[in-house]
Chains A and B, each alone.
Chain A
Amino acid sequence: MADFSILIGGKAGFGIDKSSLVIADLLNQLGYRLYVYRDYPSLIRGGHTFSIIRASDKKIATHRNSIDILLALNQDTIDLHKDKLTDKAVIIYDSDAVKAETLPPGKQVIGIALTKVVKEANAPEIMRNTCITGALCRVLGINWDVLDPILRKNFSKEADLNLKIARQGYEGAGKEFIKIEPIKQDRLPIFNGNEMISLGLIKAGLNAYVSYPMTPTSPILHFMARLAHDFSLKVIHPESEISVILMALGLSYCGEKAAVGTSGGGFCLMTEGLSFAAMAELPIVIILGQRPGPSTGLPTYSTQSDLHFALNAGQGEFPRFLTAPGDPEEAYYWAQVALNMATKYQIPSIILSDKDMGECSYSFDLSLVKELKEEAPVLWNRQGQYKRYLDTQTGVSPLAFVPDKDAVIKVNSYEHDEAGITTEDPLVTTKMQDKRLRKEKYLAQELEQYETVKVYGNKDSKTALLCWGSAKGVCVEAAQSLGLKVIQPVVLSPFPLKRLEEALKGVEKLIAVENNATGQLVRLINGYGLDVDEKILKYNGRPFSLDELQERLKAVIR
């Protein structure tokens, strides 16, 4: 099979997440391309958590609804997912936790007394995962030699015990049910969007990351903290998101390249700092990982409903760079661009992510990412008296950083003159507002060299999907299967109107696909006199699966 899906489910605290990555790692060794969808509730223990590990010979960025192998650590997993099983599906389950009579008829079932196995081995209950992974290997016809090093790598602490338990699962499964053939292609690393945003920022020269924990961007804080010593990164977790952005601006004032990360609620608290960054012209990158609102909403689920919030947050009028990468490759590339543009134009850059892009894992192909250079800030030439807000042709004032023996460096949240002194003078006010806004023109000009609008699928098709952010993965694959074109703006501010219009040439039917209730990208293009013919929206916190989007598309393309 060159495209199959494994669902592993249980309660939060069972170690589902780790197991799904171990399984992905295992299949990666056989040359498969992976996508791991994660679905978990906002609690520490209990509830129902599951992951879908989809493997394919081609690069993929979405999950499917049809499940070929179900790994059930508890009864819920059977009850909640049995309708997704394919005809020939295999169920591996803990016979100590699942009632055999509840298993759907006509499937190949393998019950292993996982609970008993771990008990007898005096192992923690969480190692049921390892046992079921061992069984999975046998079922898929994967040699023990492949599993052994993967377990050693992933469970370095109790490798021997894990191997012993996995062996019992391997043998308990008895035989091979579905033969997985190794695929002859280079293996790729597996990363999620959060990790790639982090590495992109680090590559572009990040010096400091400041954040208050909030799903779905807390993993960025953890990842950065882990890498702090390797990259001389100052990683700080202050008392609130208000403090986060202000602290980062203090670092930025001193010439440190700084970024912050949060979700909608934290971004609400950051908006005064965002507007301040714009007025004081302090470079800053803000990662906004979307989750469904309003308010606390669905903390651990996904959405694309903060586009207009990100575009319009903050009092006053000011330029901002806003990018919404659609997968880890784009995350890695556009995070670099975001930091570069913030540095060069002394503006806030926002990276709009979401729970799915941030926390789902993908096979990452670096060869698809163009190499970028780290941008240095425009520096003062040391001639004459230093003026922090010197009015220049591009609006970008050359920088000096404290301490500088020849410069007094004043930044200010009030309207100010070129020296940074507060003003209420009408002429100076107009001049300084023009200066700040002028930067947007040069930023937009520079962005013309970048592929700010991407086109995929059948480029000659008269029917196109319009999408942004994490919906890209499912749109591209659905469009390829149906012979359609996909148009994806990756930069949303400054809006790449010219490139979008070029992409729309020849399109007679435009279908928006968004994970929100109102069609936020549609509303944005409406402002430029453009519109779509159909909207396919989903806003229950769950992304489109491939099968689901294909069905909904078929209903509108006819």
Chain B
Amino acid sequence: MDDRVILRVGAKILIPFILIFALYVQFHGDYGPGGGFQAGVIFAAAFVLYALVFGLGNAIKVLPPKAAYFCGAFGVLLFVGVGYASMALGGEFLNYSVLAHDPTHGQHYGIIGVELGVLITVFGVMVALFYAFAGRRRLDR
């Protein structure tokens, strides 16, 4: 891939914007369209693009497979953690209203926390999936 200058430069320009867009989708997702699922996939797409253009080895240097696994599990913990926090504060599981002094803010924090958990999990799982498939040896050769 070393001679494909246009691809490399194009990818380098695009990747930051993809990441920013993912974060936009994420933080816009509490009251508008968007959210963790989409954001996580877009975020992972940036890594997949990086891996496709610069090679799997470089991508693994940026984000080792172990870190991807960790993200996948950690996001679920964050999600469930928000649920436990709301139970500890006297509400039902995932009842965000009790998370802050007034319910509107509580809903806000709760959704952001949960969506962040979803983002991290989806991102981690998507990248781990990509590594798992891309890391297999070539079967036909």
- Asked if A and B are interacting partners, one says no
Q: Which residues of A contact B (CB under 8 A)?
A: none
